[in-house]
Amino acid sequence: MKKKLEESIPEIIGGLVVEAVLVFVGWLLIDRNWWMPILVIIVGTTWVSCGYVSFKHKKKLFKTRSRGRKRAKNTRVWSYPRLRKAALVGFIGIPLVVLGTFGYQNYEQRQRSKLVIIAIADFDGPEPDRYRVTETIIAQLRKALEPYDDVEVIALNKAVTEAEGKMTARMHGNENNADVVIWGWYGATEEVVPLSVNFEILCPLKCTPELRAEVQGEVQRMEIADLESFDLQFQLSDEMVLLSLLTIGLTRYSAEDWDEAIASFSEALAYLEGHISSRDVHYYRGMAYIRRDQYEQALEDFNEAIEIDPTFAMAFNGRAVIYAAFKGDLDLAVADLTQAISLEPNNAEYYYSRGSVNTQKTLHVDNSNDYSSAIADLTQAIFLEPKNAEYYHQRGMTYYWANEYELAMDDLNQAISLFKQTDPDSYGEYYFESFARAYGYRATIYEANGDYEHALDDYNIAIGLNPNYAYAYFSRGKVHMFSGNYSRAITDLNHALELTNDPNNREIIHRQIEEILKAMEEE
């Protein structure tokens, strides 16, 4: 009896341990919602157990008879022969299933990240079955967005009251992975209908439209007749469709999918041409056209946006980009930027843009050395946004062209310091080009002062940041030439030739190469 009890002790302890583990796991699942860690532990333990059962063996003594003699022989046998096949299947199959599951989840997540989800909360108000505000919005949205395979309109099937507010609406939206949540409420008296509508954009966008107060919760007074005749419902639906199309376009714009962005913006304009909100659609479509090098179409969109709203400063700024960079009309660009500044006098970007254009105007058109207007604008931009690396970089280059090398060096040092602190993703696609130019111009100042060692270091860094930086190769080639390293100089100058198509620059590079070849012959 005692022996049996002793033999059963490990089983009793094992049972208690298993029971305790199950209780602990249950508590974690119920109280802490730790599904994934527990699942990983269970799957990992099962896989290790399958491996143990599959490959565990033991030595067994076999007695054999050979030539009339009895012999004992130790042979290795599997410890769990009956379970081994099933364990092998588990040992091989579990990793395959796990990899397949993670692969599918990753694929599904990528596909879902491309999906734009618009969630509609029930509009809180009297007699919802009679006025059908929510149903009308959902039906109109689904009809208008039917051509978009990557857009889904869902009903939250719950109302968000004014007391619950934006936080509750956003919470419900995030629970459903929504990019947009539309919610609101309405009332009804004998004469008027108080109405509040909220269009909440949840997805991260590089640019956010300026939404009117009427779609940000401001209470509107509508006629009861419009509610009774369903004019209000359809008017509200049209507004939501336009804003949804604009948001879809902006998600494409933020993802730098210019063709799809243009298509979404065009669809929005076709849906509600002439509506006040269409100024934003024209503006963002114009910016997308610039990215596609379709400058005439971009100019038409900016003109249309300004015609719809003559106080739209962003459109004047966008049109100035066309005039300055692609039309070569710097005077018109300055005029548009001056108008933008008059409309938004605290916008640092507009001062920066006008300062940059004035720098080019002084350098290439006026042929003077008066950079005071450009420097004043860039100084104001820095005053408004003192942590912007690009503003210091541009003013540093302007000081350089004005032969103010000490001031230029100070600004370029500050620009480089700020670039190092800036997240490339938040800066935009030109981060590395701008960062490289800051090093390139600082290197040029070192070179002008005869400090070839520091100049060479900065040119190397500039090329590392932007391997297609022709100016850095050309300038580094000159430094190599001054240092007597002619072979490296020719290599850099040839590389600069490959990277530039400008005939004037190519002629300068060819002359430099000829000088080096001549110097090599004279040695």
Q: Is the dihedral of CA 250, 251, 253, 259 positive or negative?
A: negative
Average pLDDT value for the chain: 79
Residue 191 structure tokens:
């004469």
For residue 136, give every residue at least 6 positions away whose Cβ sits within 8 Å of its Cβ, in sequence order, or none.
230, 233, 234, 236, 237
Mean per-residue pLDDT, 314-322? 94
Outline where DSSP puts E strands in 96-213: 116-122, 151-159, 180-186, 192-201
pLDDT digits (tens, 9 = 90+) for 32-53: 445 566 666 776 777 677 677 6
Which residues fall within 8 angstroms of residue 58, CB to CB, at 6 or more apart? 76, 77, 79
Average pLDDT over residues 56-77: 57
Domain layout of the chain by residue ranges: 16-112
Confidence of residue 69 (pLDDT cuts 50, 70, 90): low
When pLDDT is averaged across residues 437-460 and rounded to a whole number, the result is 92
Nearest to 380 by CA among 337, 346, 411: 346
Lowest mean pLDDT among 22-36, 374-388, 403-417, 451-465: 22-36
Output the CA torsion 348→354→360→364 (10° steps): -170
Q: Which of 54-58, 60-64, 240-244 has the lowest mean pLDDT?
A: 60-64
Instruction: Determine phi and psi for 13, rounding to 5 degrees.
Output: -60, -45
> Would the pLDDT of 7 be above 50?
no
